[in-house]
Amino acid sequence: MSATIISINVSDKKGMRKKAIDTAVLKDNYGIESDAHASETWHRQVSLLALESIDKMRAKGLKVGPGDFAENITTQGISLVDLPVGTKMTIGKDAEVEVSQIGKLCHNRCAIYHQAGDCVMPREGIFVKVLKGGTIKTGDEIVIKD
């Protein structure tokens, strides 16, 4: 099973829409260099959301795209929410990650929620810990390991 990176997104502060970048460095047990969510102290180092989930919000009439849900990596081609915690994946040539959480509790209703009355990230976004770092870029393949 594999997916493709559609977008890599970072922000300086938590709780904001992220801006797209072409390449990023995943650091061991940390996350994406220069992203506000990266930390050695927790299990939600990198967030992923499928383009297919974003399309559900577009179908509700929202003008949203990759990064608008504050996800670090937007994917296409795999149902992320169906991956169990503990699933290991390779991203690009070198990086390895492990699913650490599916969805999240949305304490503060984000701008997307207020616009649409709904947000897919709390239900369909996943979080991973970085087991082995590496450089990733848009278009890289994400492969689920057996």
Q: What is the dihedral of CA 38, 48, 2, 132, to 10 degrees?
A: 10
Show pLDDT as tens, one digit a residue, over the chain (146 residues).
Answer: 789 999 999 988 876 778 999 999 999 999 999 898 888 888 889 999 999 998 988 888 878 889 888 889 999 999 998 999 999 999 999 999 999 998 766 656 555 555 545 566 667 889 999 999 999 999 999 999 97
Residue 79 is predicted with a pLDDT of: 92
Residue 5 is predicted with a pLDDT of: 98
Domains by residue range for the chain, with CATH: 2-144 (2.40.33.20)
The letter for the amino acid at 61 is: G
Spatial strand order in the sheet of 23-27 = 31-32, 23-27, 134-137
CA distance 14 to 129: 18
